[in-house]
Structure 1
Amino acid sequence: MSVLDLARAEIRAMQPYSSARMEASGGKVFLNANESAWAPVGDDGLGCNRYPEPQPAALIEALATLYGVRREQLLVGRGSDEAIDLLVRAFCRAGEDAILIQPPTFGMYAVCAKIQNAGVIEVGLNADATLDVDAVLAAVTPAVKLVFICTPNNPTGQLVPRESIERLAEALAGRALLIVDEAYVEFAEVASVSDLIDRYENLAVLRTLSKAWALAGARIGSLLANAEVIALLRRIMPPYPLPLPCVHAALLGLSGWGQANAREHLATIRAERTRLSKALMQLPGVREVLPSHANFLAVRFDDAGAAYQRLLAAGVLVRDVRRYPNLGDALRITIGTPAENEQMLTALKSSVMAGQNVVEGSA
């Protein structure tokens, strides 16, 4: 059985759109795509008057090297969100198929499924935010075509052990595609599971340059998967997904200088994560700081709503995650620069002191 047997039959059979860039290359006079012959103001040699390559060869090569996969096992698009959407559209029939997720987790899995009118089966994380593999496997029905695993998980920061992922991939073979979202893996100091793709044809991995590589504004995400899956998704992807300035920014970020810069910032974030976790636990009103392997901390408060408003009043924006299951008392705080982190701590300390003064004054 091929992994493509899990995909929608009509997608496998469709005739994909053929763009001008795909039909011809190597020319010197471009009169085939109805583009402007003149570069725009401020182009600086980028060539933005021409359509970009659908899958830029230089970027594919750089990312394949970075992630340790073959070029044909990589699809690059507009952040991880685009890959998630493509997977749901390719594998889930509207009104019939479903995905499986483990809340609290990244919200775009469910959003993309609902847009496609696919079902969403939820298997909640354990009370300590760990994954229950047995519960996940027990919940898989014939309708489930995609199982999403986020590690480190957003918004809790917990890791899913490699052995759990292997167990899921093996158990789901021929039944569903296992999608492992590693958007935050660089912060975790653990190896990616992308080396398992050759062993499990139903395993796919999501990666992004938005987090550790400081390119959230460029929107460069990758899907690493079986070459047949990649080829299928390329058939339904928009013809020109990557703007030239974004490709240029990504190649610069992946250069030797760019990688050295990223490593320096990663070291700072890991050190600050440890420092902030200890400092937050010493504050009155903080109940718990969840263990995190990402670039954020999920923090439980006695009154998370009040803490959020006090931080906001001080000009410090954090993420209110109280709407997520089992996080009704929590805020998610991104690790910033040491100076920004200190501002956040100062704001929380000041709000606590102000509250104590009010109580003492009323007494």
Structure 2
Amino acid sequence: MNVLDLARPEIRAMQAYSSARMEAGGGEIWLNANESPWAPSGDGGTGCNRYPEPQPPELVEALAAMYGVQREQVLVTRGSDEAIDLLVRAFCRAGEDAILIQPPTFGMYAIYAQIQNAAVIEVPLAHDFSVDVDTLLAALTPAVKLTFVCTPNNPSGQRVPRASIERLAQSLQGRSVLVVDEAYVEFDDQVSVVDLIDRHDNLAVLRTLSKAWALAGARVGCVLANAAVTGLLRRIIAPYPLPRPCVAAALAVLSAEGQAATRAHLETIRTQRTRMQQALRAVPGVRQVLPSWTNFLAVRFDNAGAVYQRLLAAGIVVRDTRRYPNLGDALRITMGTPAENDKVLAVLRNATTNAQGLAEGST
């Protein structure tokens, strides 16, 4: 069975929009796209009066080289969010098909399914946030066209073993597309599963430059998948998804100099993660610091709500994860600079000291 047999037949049959930039050949004077012939004020030579390339060749080449795939296996998107949206729209018929997720996990999988009027089947992660492959496969129905796995997981920080991914890809062959979200994989020492794409045409891997590569504001990500899948998604992606300044920013961080800076930052984050794990465990009121292979820590507190407000009063914003399953007592704390992390610890320790002082003064 071809992976495209899982896709919506009307998407497989549709004729993709042919943009003016796609049809343009060589030439010195471009009068085919109804663009302004003048650059805007303050353009600085970026050429923003012209539409960008639909899939900028230099960026596609750089991402393909970095991830170890063929150019045809890369579709550049506006962050991972657009990639998720495209996959849901391409494979899920409204009111008929479904996706499968394992909460607690990234909320946008369910949101995009709901927008498409696709059902959302939930198979909660185990108490230790591990993926039970047998339970997941038992929940699969013929309606499930996409199975999402986030590794390392957001918001728990837990990883999914490579062997589990391989087993899922094999077991879901001809039944569902396995979408592996690797938004945080750079913070892990576990190798990406992108090399499995050539063995499993039903495997799609999501990558982003928003986290480790410090481009959250530029919105650059990609889908890495079988060329048939990326080709299908090209039919429904916006004609010009990536603004020129965002492409330039991405190429800068992917340069040799940019990659060296990123590696240094990643080492700092890993060091800070270990330091904060140890320090937080010693703070009174902390029940547990969950294992993490990301740039954040999920921390259980005796009173997570009070801790959240205490940090907020000090100007520190963390993520309140109490609405997520199995995280009703937890906050998610992103690793900042060493100085920012020091302030988090100082606020938590001072609050504990003050509380103890008040308690002693009342006796």
Instruction: Specify if TM > 0.5.
Output: yes
Aligned amino acid, residue 255 of structure 1: S
**What is the CA deviation profile of residues 305-347 of structure 1, one whole-angstrom value per residue up to 9, with x for unaligned ones?**
0000000011111000000000000000000110000011001
**What is the CA deviation profile of residues 291-318 of structure 1, one whole-angstrom value per residue up to 9, with x for unaligned ones?**
0000000000000000000000111110
Corresponding residue of 1:172: 172
Corresponding residue of 1:260: 260
Distance 2:99 2:327 in 1: 23
SS at match of 2:54: coil
Distance 1:354 1:145 in 2: 54
1:25 CA drift (Å): 2.3
**What is the CA deviation profile of residues 257-285 of structure 1, one whole-angstrom value per residue up to 9, with x for unaligned ones?**
10000000000000110000000000000
Q: Does 2:137 align with 1:137?
A: yes
Distance 2:230 2:66 in 1: 18
**Please, what TM-score do these two structures have when normalized by structure 2?**
0.99
Distance 1:361 1:54 in 2: 67
Distance 1:48 1:352 in 2: 53
Aligned amino acid, residue 267 of structure 1: E
Corresponding residue of 2:87: 87
Corresponding residue of 2:72: 72
Matches within 5 A, 1:57-206: 57-206=57-206
Distance 2:353 2:132 in 1: 41
SS at match of 2:198: coil
Aligned amino acid, residue 294 of structure 2: A
Q: CA RMSD in A?
A: 0.6
Corresponding residue of 1:22: 22
Q: Does 2:46 align with 1:46?
A: yes
Distance 1:173 1:252 in 2: 38
SS at match of 1:197: helix
Moved over 6 A (4+): none
**What is the CA deviation profile of residues 44-92 of structure 1, one whole-angstrom value per residue up to 9, with x for unaligned ones?**
1110000000000000000000111000000001000000000000000
**Please, what TM-score do these two structures have when normalized by structure 1?**
0.99
Distance 1:323 1:219 in 2: 27
Distance 1:60 1:278 in 2: 40
Aligned residue-pair number: 363
Distance 2:269 2:41 in 1: 38
Aligned amino acid, residue 130 of structure 2: T
Corresponding residue of 2:298: 298
Corresponding residue of 2:318: 318
Gaps of 5+ in 2: none
Distance 2:27 2:110 in 1: 44
Corresponding residue of 2:247: 247
Distance 1:25 1:255 in 2: 28
1:112 CA drift (Å): 0.3
Distance 1:277 1:78 in 2: 33
Matches within 5 A, 1:204-353: 204-353=204-353
Distance 1:316 1:356 in 2: 22
**What is the CA deviation profile of residues 163-212 of structure 1, one whole-angstrom value per residue up to 9, with x for unaligned ones?**
00000000000000000000000000111000000000000100000011
1:357 CA drift (Å): 1.7
Aligned amino acid, residue 60 of structure 1: V
Aligned amino acid, residue 257 of structure 1: E
